[in-house]
Every structure is written in structure tokens, then in C-alpha cells.
Amino acid sequence: MTGKARASALAFVAILGTGSPIEATEGRRWTIENIAIVPTDFDLRLASDGRSLAYLERRADIETDKSVSILHLYDLDSHRSREILRAPSAEQLRRLPDGRGWSLLIDRGDGLQLYKLDARGTLTLLLKREAVVTVGQTEGGLFAVRSGAPRRIGILYHDWSPDGRWLWYATLRPRPEPLAMSIDATVVAQRYRRRAPVKATVELRLRSAAGEEWLVASRPAQDRLAFYYGANVQWTREGPRYQLEQGDAERSGGTGTFIWSFATGSSHPAEQEPGFPSIGLVSGPHGGVLASEGFGRELDLTETRPDGRKIHYGPQPYYIGDPRAAGNWLANDGRKAVLGVRTIPHPRYGLVLLGSRKVKPLLVAGSLTACDFRQDLAWGVCVEESLNQAPRLVHVAPESGEVRALASLSSVHESIAPLRVTAHEWTNRLGYRSTGFIVWPRDYQQGKAYPAILITHGSDADERFASPDLQWNYPAQLFAERGFLVILQNDPSARQQAELWNAYMEWSGGPGVLGPSRLRELIWLNGVYSFEDMIHELVGKGIIDRERIGIAGYSRGSQMVNVAVTQSTIFGAASSGDGNYLEPASYADPKEGYHAIFGGPPSGRHLASYRQLSPSLRAEKVCAPVLQQMASPFAGAIDFYTALRDAEVPAQISLYPGEDIATDETHLFHIPSNRLRAMRENMAWFDFWLRGRRDPNMAPISTYDRWSTMAAQLRDCSRPPSALQPEPS
């Protein structure tokens, strides 16, 4: 039985209303290189006088085979942009409180240090500290949950007091320890060890305008608030208020709040006030904390004031607090706010102007993904993009709702003829909705059933341009150029129903009232049902070929790919990226999550639960060839590959290298040549297994010969392998 899938208003009407091909507008077509050099990670700040804008972007440099940060200055009067600098790393762009430019952290070969940028484009070193700790996946490096090449840290974090008289900053110092035997938890913590573990200390420091310095606190690098957020400092009249973890990365003991007093020159504990913005909390115009509450297609926007009273702004078709949204701004008089939001039915990012009781949404066809505003919120500048619109700068006036184009941020991508993209919503057999998009083949013709590839990664199918957060090393645009119909599908959102929300809470927090069986159904099988029911609808409409359907996803997407091919026979090929969760070998990652899913460890009475979901224990049920692309050689991924080959299922596992033998590639590939090769490997894999095609530009002939040998050995799975039956021309 399949569920009834429902397409949104943007779905099939325009596509199926004609039998003629959809004509592409004038322009070039996508190449793999075009996908690799899409700019990402924009960060922008207006000058205090509103006449210029500094912005950062991250981009692959194919010629040097490195990913680089690029700093630009854009003149809002002349509409001219200048490139100021290219560096291995540049981040944390801030407007200087004195109105004379910006500050940012840049690595110019001597580690990440603090610089000033003035309106003329001149860079001046403000503060330098010895860069003695390397962060990254390299020998002697401190591990961090971030992508990028290993880098040395002089300044880890910085922030200015509103009057500009004080600088709060963080550094890293080595924490050498004598060699000693590891016992119990210290051994478990090294379960993914590829090299000797490194420890470091985060030093939180305060510096006055006169150059005086105080060491505010020293924390182990495992304190995530100190390491990733610089202790979430907020400036008060008494002094900087900051937060530290009162535990470690494995067992959080809560958050401690402290104030460093200007008067005494020391810190003391502070009570956590309702209005104090913890990580992820958003301040409102009444001095309270904003939240999106409830479940369904509309969520209640509320503000909880410091006295506990709650203000209701009404049901809204979007929610606040998504880290991918543009950000949040409170006017200098505190009477209104601009909030970054994510919409629910058609996933994209927009803005909302919030007054004392007024809510005014500012939503465009695509997304506004990075912004900065004047202090009075009269206007600002944002990055606008969508699945078929390259990033560009736009002028935004929240009160009037006007959005006006300023400048392209990537002319090479503007010159590509846009592919047709439509937004959809599907409802599966359990009644759960999932959102997503279809990228249609360049020359789509009604009546022809196309091979299809489904790409999934949690909730990242949204209106962002060729985002690696979603498509990773899967060249979605090239798939569409070469005749595939590409489906970008999200997991069923936990915000639609309380039980699904509770399932995710139990998964992250440990066993609860739902129990392992229901948890597995709601979070993993529910997703597989969504895939199957969406596919049945498209097959029923004659849009896709039932025998030529692939699935791809990395990280959370790899979980769903591995579960899908071990629970369903609907897919003809699969590519799974850099994941190994749900495998017995990954137990204790952390184990509370595994206990919620399976009831306990992979042994004894709990083993039956693992057999119901763990991919390597269900390899004999797989009917699709499986490619695994890895940045690290996870034991669980290797177990899955070995089990597939033992079951005579065609499979390949590919491990991509780091810059040298002492480094690793990262979860989001940062080495351009690796990403190019991985995209070609995926193109070749799906072309071969779904269409019987061999393109020597995507993989060597010897690779296709090896795959052919595996194809000939494929056992009867009630569906013929497409590699042995080439697609009709």
C-alpha cells in the first residue's frame, strides 16, 4: 500500500500542461567545475555610514587545489566591488564600534590573527598571538566539528564592547600531558582515533583600549561554548557576561553564567536571567525571548518576557531560530526586530519585521541567506539566492518590503541557463508530510519516463544555490543536464506533529516513553515510506522509469540511503557518503542514542533490534549496487561494504585523501580535486548502473570493466540490473 502524495501549487501544472520540450533560456550549461566553484559561506557587514559593505565568501580555487576565503569591499554609491584579499581562512567579520571600518580574523601565513579593514581597503594588524595550536584533521591537530584545511590559531574568537573600549578574545594554548595508560572512558573517547589525540586550553581574555589585559578564564577545548562561541559574551554595564559548560562534551552538566566585573577586575557567578540570550535564543522587542511554538503548517510566534508573561504574535507559516537563516537584529532603540526565518510548506529563508504587536513578513521567491542592517533597521543588504538563481546582493527595506537587486556575486553562474525547479510536498502512507523539489531534465518532454536520482540530507532541501550542505559530492545540476530527473527530498519535519518531535528528542537525549521500535519507525522507516510513496506517484504519472531510480546522501543522508536499500527494493543504485551511524561498530557514538534506537548494546536480547535496522546486518536484502565515498575510514562503513560483497551485492568503498599523508579530507570535502573526482565518480556510478553507459571522461575504462564483473554476478532480485540493459535511445 502506498500513501497519496500531494504536490504543491508549484508542482506539475506548468510541466505537464504541454507535450513540447521545455526550452532553456539562452546561456551555458552546467559543468562539474561550475558546481565545484559555487561561492558559499557569505558573511557581510555594512559600514557605519551606510556607504559601503565588506563581505566574505568561501570558494574553491581549482588551479591551486585549495579552498580560499575572499574579502571584498562593495561601494553602495558607485555599485563597484573590489577584491581585497584571498587567504586560506578569513572569518568573524565585525563592524568596529568607532565607525572606522571592520575587524576580522585572517590567516596570512602566521595563523589566524585579528586585523582591521578600513573604508579604503587597507588591512592593519590589530592583535597577534603566537599560533601554537593547529585545529584540523592532521597529525598533532586538535579535532573540531568544522570543515576546512588544518589551520594554526592565534586568535580563536573576538568581540567588541558597544563603546569600543574593550576587546573580548579567545586564544588556544597547548595542554601537554605526560604519556600515560588510558583507562575506560579515555579509551572509548579514542574510538575513531587515526592519530595521537591532542589537548588544548581555551584562554578567554579581555583587553582595554589602553592595552591592559586580563585572563578571564581558562577552559579545556572540550568546553563547546568556549571553543566554538567564545563563551557567548554579552556586554552589560557591570562587565562582560559569559557562559561556560559545566561538564564535558560527552556528559553535559549544564551551563554556568558569569560576569567579569569592570570594578573588581574579576569574575563572579551570575544568575541566568530569562532575557539573557543563550545560544540559539532570539531576543524580541519587549526584552523577552522569542520562540516558534506548536506543530503543523503554522506555528505560534511568541515572546516570553523576563517577568514570565507571554506575548502571542499569532500563527505563522514559518519558524525562527534556524541556524541557516540570515540572522536576527534588534533595533538600537529596542522597539523592533528583524528576524531570519525558514518557511514551512516551501522551504526557503526570509525575514520578518517584528514590532510591538505587528508582524510583517518579507519573503522572496528564493531565499535571503546572509544580511546586515543599519542600526535603526531602516534598510539593509542581503544575499539573495535560490535553487536556480546564483547568489546576488540585494537592497532590502523591511518596512516597505522592497527588495532591489544590487550586484551579482558570481557572474560565471549567472551566465548558465537556469534549470527548471519546482517545489513539492508529499504525504506518505502514515500521513506524514515531506517537502522537497524536482530539478527537471534540461529538455524534458511529457510522455517520456526519465531515470531519476533522489538526493537527501535531513532538512537541507531548500532554496539555496547548489548548496554542498545538501548535494555534497552529488552533481545534481549535471545529472539534470544529462537527462536525469533529480528529486531533492527532506525528512518528514518533526515540527509537523508532537510524536515525531518527541521521537527526535528521545534519539538525542536517550530512551524514553516511545520505545525503540516506535522510534525506528518514526525516524528511519517513515523516511523510507516517504521515498517510496513519492516515487510511486511519479512512476504512476509516467514521469520516471521504475527500473532506473537511484538514491544518494551523505551524513544523515547516508543513514537514510543505507536504510532505504536494506528495507526497500525500489532503488536500482545508491551512493552513500561518509557515514556509518546505526552500525554495531558505531555503538557508543554516543551510546545513549543507540539505547534509544535499539534498547541497548548490540548483543544479547537487543541484537534482534539491530537486525531490524543496522545496514550491515541486512546486506543480504540489498538489491541495489552501493557506492560509499569516505573522508575517514569508519569501521561501520567498512563493515557494511564487506557485508555487501559477502552477499554478492555490487559495492565499492572509496576513501579520499587529505593534503598529505598526515592529514584527512573533511566531512564536507574541502580539497577541490577530491570533490571534482567524487562528483565524476557519482556521475559514472549512476550512469553505469541505471543507464548502462560508460563515459571515459567520468571514470577510467578499467573501472567500468570492474563494475561489469560485479554486475554479472548480481543475484536475481526480481529486477534486472540496468547496467546489463542499456537505456533505450
546: phi then psi, degrees, rounded to nearest 5: -55, -30
Per-residue confidence (pLDDT) for residue 181, from 0 to 100: 84
What are φ and ψ of residue 513, in 5° steps?
-75, -25
Give the per-residue pLDDT at 182: 79
pLDDT band at 2 (very low <50, low <70, confident <90, very high): very low
Between CA 484 and CA 381 the distance in angstroms is: 37
Which residue has cell 560576569? Answer: 259
Would you place residue 729 in the very low, low, confident or very high pLDDT band (cuts 50, 70, 90)? low
**Domain boundary assignment for the chain:** 13-30+414-717, 39-413
Neighbour-count burial for 285-323, b at 16+ CB within 10 Å, e otherwise? bbebbbbbeebeebbbbbbbeeeeeebebeebebbbbbe
Closest CA to 253 of 265, 243, 242, 262: 243
* Residue 195: per-residue pLDDT: 73
- Reference 1, options 431, 416, 424, 355; nearest CA is 431
**Cα torsion angle, 371, 375, 377, 380, sign:** negative
Whole-angstrom distance, CA of residue 566 vs CA of residue 544: 22
The answer to whether residue 584 scores a pLDDT higher than 60 is: yes
Q: Work out whether strand 141-142 and strand 133-135 pair parallel, antiparallel, or are unpaired.
A: parallel
Beta bridge partners of 203: 171, 218
Paired sense of beta strands 133-135 and 380-386, if any = unpaired
Report how far residue 708's alpha carbon sits from residue 650's, in angstroms, rounded to the nearest whole number. Answer: 9
Question: Buried b vs exposed e over 267-276: b needs ≥16 C-beta within 10 Å?
Answer: beebeeeebb
Q: How confident is the model at residue 611 (pLDDT cuts 50, 70, 90)?
A: very high
Q: List the grid coordinates of 196.
A: 595521537
For residue 176, what pLDDT is reported? Answer: 83
Residue from 565, 434, 542, 448 nearest 488 by CA: 434
Q: Judging by DSSP bridges, how do beta strands 213-220 and 234-235 pair with one another?
A: unpaired
Percent of the chain beyond pLDDT 90? 83
Cα separation, 444 vs 438, whole angstroms: 12
Asked, colleague to colleague, whether 13-30+414-717 and 39-413 share their fold, the answer is no
Question: Rounded to whole angstroms, how far apart are CA atoms 89 and 149?
Answer: 9
Phi/psi for 560 (5° steps) reads -70, -35
How confident is the model over 143-167, as a mean pLDDT? 92
Q: Cα(497)–Cα(323) distance, rounded to whole angstroms?
A: 21
- For residues 420-456, one letter each, b for 16 or more C-beta atoms within 10 angstroms of the residue's C-beta and e for the rest, the string is bbbbbbbbbbbebbbbbbbbbbbebebeebbbbbbbb
How confident is the model at residue 723, as a pLDDT? 54
Grid cell locating 53: 559593505
Query: 273 falls in which pLDDT band (50, 70, 90)?
Result: low
Percent share of the chain, pLDDT over 70: 92
pLDDT at 491 over 70: yes
CATH code linked to domain 13-30+414-717 = 3.40.50.1820
- Per-residue pLDDT band at 357 (split at 50, 70, 90): confident
Q: Right CATH number for 39-413 from 2.60.40, 2.130.10, 3.40.50, 3.80.10?
A: 2.130.10
Q: Which neighbouring-strand residues pair with 127?
A: 114
The H or E element that residue 205 is part of is strand 200-208
What does the mean pLDDT of the chain come to? 91
How confident is the model at residue 719, as a pLDDT?
A: 55
pLDDT in tens, 628-685: 999 999 999 999 999 999 999 999 999 999 999 889 999 999 999 999 999 999 999 9
Whether the CB-CB separation of 624 and 571 falls below 8 Å is answered with: yes
Q: What is the largest CA-CA distance in the chain?
A: 80
- Tell me the per-residue pLDDT of 189-209, one tens digit each, with 9 for 90 and over: 777 667 777 899 999 999 999
3-state secondary structure of 582: coil
